[in-house]
Homo-oligomer: A and B are copies of this chain.
């Protein structure tokens, strides 16, 4: 399943003529999957996948990230409740909390008499978020290449204090997202989602003065209809509502909470 060829995947993504095929279409096929089969994933496979994550680029080899796998059902239940009650946090064969992690490097620095005060700067928060996202996405690509499916859980940011309590997180660590991993069920219906036209995302030489989004609104409306989802609001309307200041689902505390944990203090 989920084995579209390059041309088909491209057309689902962009409804445009595909370029010649320079790489495996797996890199175009990503979709979030929330329902997994019972097929187990052995720990040795997870070990390899974490090895892929660790093989991602990392600024100055600082490796400002960590990952916690959570398999205990009670702990999964508590995490799911904290993360918008998403069923896949409970049911995924493997669940990971990815962490931006300054703690380990602070330990290393202090062991050699350095104060590590630079970690207080926003620069190092930004760096840790980049590091952890690069690591996670390399793991995701490796997982998808072997037929696994995934779902990122951004709702791990809904209640950062509760997540920190549940996972014993020290100062200088923060969970920006979780990751569910499993084999998809046989009749999984998740489809490749259309994305913005390339000329609205990829610019040449300089940022443009205008960007056309009407074409994407039309394409997404057709997609919602094809998926039997509500199609009476456009992508611009959905997305605009998502970023008004009434839908932050707890995340409005992020700035003050992160500063209290030592991130982005200056």
Q: Would you call A243 and B124 a contact (CB within 8 A)?
A: yes
Mark out the residues of chain A between 117 and 131 whose CB falls within 8 Å of any chain B CB in the assembled complex.
Answer: 117-124, 126-127, 129-130
Does chain B have a CB within 8 A of A204? Answer: yes
- CB within 8 Å for A119 and B243 given contacts A54-B201, A104-B200: yes
For this chain, the copies found in one complex come to: 2
Segment from A81-89, A181-189, A249-257 that makes contact with B: A249-257
Q: Would you call A195 and B154 a contact (CB within 8 A)?
A: no
Q: Which residues of B contact A127 (CB under 8 A)?
A: 154
Q: Would you call A240 and B21 a contact (CB within 8 A)?
A: no
Q: Which residues of B contact A202 (CB under 8 A)?
A: 50, 66-69
Q: Would you call A130 and B176 a contact (CB within 8 A)?
A: yes
Does chain B have a CB within 8 A of A80? Answer: no
Q: Would you call B252 and A145 a contact (CB within 8 A)?
A: no
A-B contact pairs, 12 of them (CB 8 A): A20-B48, A23-B146, A62-B243, A69-B204, A72-B205, A108-B236, A118-B244, A119-B243, A120-B245, A123-B254, A141-B141, A167-B206
Interface residues of A (CB under 8 A from B): 9-10, 13-14, 18-24, 27-30, 32, 44-45, 47-52, 54-57, 59-63, 65-72, 75, 99, 103-124, 126-127, 129-130, 133-134, 136-138, 140-143, 145-146, 150, 152, 154, 157, 167-170, 173, 176-177, 192-193, 195-196, 198, 200-207, 211, 213, 234-237, 239-248, 251-252, 254-255, 258, 264, 266
